[in-house]
Each structure stands twice: as structure tokens, then as C-alpha cells.
């Protein structure tokens, strides 16, 4: 979805090329180690792999741009829009790489974890499914003839996805709160900046761990529990910047609306077609105490030393 919305059709139409882009992006991610952040000039193995993978991604899109220009060929995609605007090749590729990284890493993670949390809380899972059924009945009822569930979902207008799925949106918000533990950075460019009564030197970096706010029991009672009701109770508005899932301040996430749309579409398509449960390597349902993210693995956010699977079966009846 991310590649089709923000990348090139030549890649989006090929499963093999999509997998290749995903592989390269995870190579880039694995090169983003604490050492590489503190010592970006150090020629470590992780840095070399990151540079090599970044170069491969650049060359992939550069080749597509050159082919279109030499052939005089046009496509209906984001890449073509940027080309038509006259952006340079480095500008085009930088935009696409940044957007794809956010989509492949963040949207993919949240889509996976929301299924885990919903399976642990059957009442919320049932509410999300009922909300989806209500939406489909309103915009694409079974009494009308549709070729596929994808066609039915396509009949839901943008305002339906954005404004008529409050249950799924609350579940997504709670998933982000529980999973997101990134460090937020700001560089001080004003010598007069003070934080906590301390003057911050000009050029210094400030780092804040988002998990500190999201795990604060004074804001979110019983903070480790998955409880989407928190948002109807206004816990995320109990103080300024109590929720940092989409950033804060002057520069929040520009892709918030698209990311929400994308994750909702993934959840809707899967839940409309399949029943599922989360199982461990033995095929048994895991205890919720072990289905928690490794806080030291901020990009992949995998459960520590654990592997889980989605066991799914096709629904006998359409929603």
C-alpha cells in the first residue's frame, strides 16, 4: 500500500520487487545502531551495510526515473507527480525513501500489534468487527452485487474511514501508546532555550523518550493494560502533550491521515475475510505477559526471545 501510494508503479505491481525493497529497508534499519548514532563517522560493519543498502534503494528508483525519461513513458503514481513538478532525482528519491521508511516500519508494526492486542481482548475485537460490518452495510450492502470484499471496501468514502470508525481508531491509538518508545530529538538553535531550569547550549541536542509519557501512571492508570476506553475518558488530554504517537509541537507527523487510512484498510480487509487467533510455536495461545515488545528494539518492536504466529481461517459468512 505504501509503495503504491508514495512510490513507483513498476515496483508496486511486482511482488518480487516489493519484497526486495522491504529487504533493503530492513538492512538500513539494522544499520541504525546506537553506535552509528553516536559515532556516524565510524566505519563499522553496520554502517557499511546501511550505506550499501541505501545505495541499492537509490539506484533502483534512479533506474526507473531514467527509463521513464528515455522512453518518454508516463505512469499514474507519486513518482510521476514529482517528476512533473520538476524535482531533481535526489529530491524525488529522498522524499520517496523517507515516506516508504515510515510506512514499511511504523505502519507495518502497528498493523501487526493491533491484531495481537485485539486477540487478547475479545470484546474489543468483536466491537471492531461489528463497526466494520455496520460501515459495509451502510456503503456496500450484501444485497447489492460486488465482485470481492476489496470492491465493497472501496465503496466506503474517505469520510467513512476517517470519521466513522471510532472503535478501531481508539484501538489503534492504544496500540501506538503501548508500542511506540522512540526517542524524540530536537537540536537547540537558540542560546536562550531553558528546560527544567537549565540553559541548553546552542547546538546541543535534546532527547526525550516517548515511552516515559505513555507509561506514566499519573496520565494513564494501569499503563501496561490495553484499554482503548482511555480515550473516551480523555486520559490522553489530561495534560499538554500526553499522547506523542504522532509527534508534537510545530512539526507533528505529516503522514498521519494516510497512515491511519492505511492501517484501517489493512485491518478491515483482514477482519472482513478471516477469523484468527495468535499462537506460539507450539500452536497454543500465549500468555499476554509475554506478548510485549522488546523496548531495546525500537524499530522492529518484536517480543523479546519469542515468536508468534497468526492462525487464520476464512470466514464462512461475509460481513
Write out the binding residues for heme.
Answer: 253
What is the longest distance spanned by two Cα atoms in the chain?
Answer: 66
Name the 3-class secondary structure at 190: coil
Q: Are 41 and 70 in contact (CB under 8 A)?
A: no
Q: Are 303 and 291 in contact (CB under 8 A)?
A: yes
Q: Are 107 and 253 in contact (CB under 8 A)?
A: no
Q: Give every CB contact of residue 53 below 8 A, 6+ residues apart in sequence.
A: 24, 25, 27, 28, 31
- List residues forming the annotated binding site: 253
Kindly state the cell numbers that stand for 296. 531495546
DSSP-assigned letter for residue 245: B
Q: Are 102 and 149 in contact (CB under 8 A)?
A: no
| Pairing outcome for strands 205-209 and 183-187 | antiparallel
Amino acid at each position: 500500500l505504501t509503495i503504491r501510494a508514495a512510490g513507483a508503479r513498476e515496483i508496486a505491481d511486482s511482488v518480487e520487487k516489493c519484497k526486495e525493497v522491504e529487504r533493503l529497508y530492513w538492512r538500513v534499519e539494522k544499520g541504525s545502531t546506537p553506535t552509528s548514532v553516536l559515532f556516524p563517522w565510524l566505519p563499522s560493519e553496520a554502517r557499511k551495510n546501511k550505506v550499501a543498502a541505501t545505495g541499492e534503494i537509490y539506484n533502483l528508483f534512479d533506474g526507473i526515473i531514467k527509463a521513464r525519461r528515455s522512453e518518454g513513458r508516463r505512469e499514474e503514481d507519486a513518482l510521476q507527480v514529482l517528476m512533473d513538478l520538476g524535482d531533481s532525482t535526489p529530491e524525488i528519491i529522498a522524499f520517496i525513501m523517507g515516506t516508504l521508511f515510515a510506512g514499511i516500519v511504523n505502519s507495518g508494526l502497528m498493523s501487526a500489534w493491533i491484531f495481537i492486542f485485539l486477540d487478547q481482548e475479545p470484546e474489543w475485537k468483536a466491537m471492531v468487527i461489528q463497526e466494520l460490518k455496520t460501515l459495509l452495510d451502510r456503503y456496500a450492502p450484501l444485497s447489492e452485487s460486488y465482485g470481492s470484499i476489496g470492491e465493497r471496501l472501496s465503496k466506503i468514502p474517505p469520510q467513512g474511514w476517517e470519521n466513522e470508525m471510532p472503535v478501531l481508531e481508539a484501538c489503534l491509538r492504544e496500540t501506538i501508546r503501548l508500542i511506540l518508545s522512540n526517542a524524540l530529538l530536537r537540536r537547540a538553535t537558540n542560546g536562550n532555550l531553558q528546560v527544567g531550569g537549565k540553559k541548553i547550549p546552542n547546538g546541543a541536542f535534546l532527547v526525550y523518550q516517548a515511552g516515559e509519557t505513555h507509561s506514566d501512571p499519573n496520565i494513564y492508570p494501569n499503563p501496561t493494560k490495553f484499554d482503548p476506553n482511555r480515550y473516551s475518558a480523555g486520559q490522553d488530554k489530561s495534560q499538554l502533550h500526553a499522547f506523542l504517537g504522532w509527534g508534537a509541537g510545530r512539526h507533528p507527523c505529516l503522514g498521519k491521515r494516510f497512515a491511519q487510512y492505511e492501517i484501517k484498510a489493512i485491518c478491515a480487509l483482514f477482519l472482513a475475510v478471516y477469523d484468527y487467533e495468535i499462537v506460539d510455536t507450539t500452536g497454543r495461545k500465549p500468555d499476554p505477559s509475554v506478548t510485549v515488545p522488546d523496548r531495546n528494539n525500537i524499530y522492529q518492536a518484536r517480543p523479546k526471545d519469542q515468536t508468534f504466529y497468526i492462525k487464520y481461517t476464512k470466514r464462512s459468512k461475509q460481513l
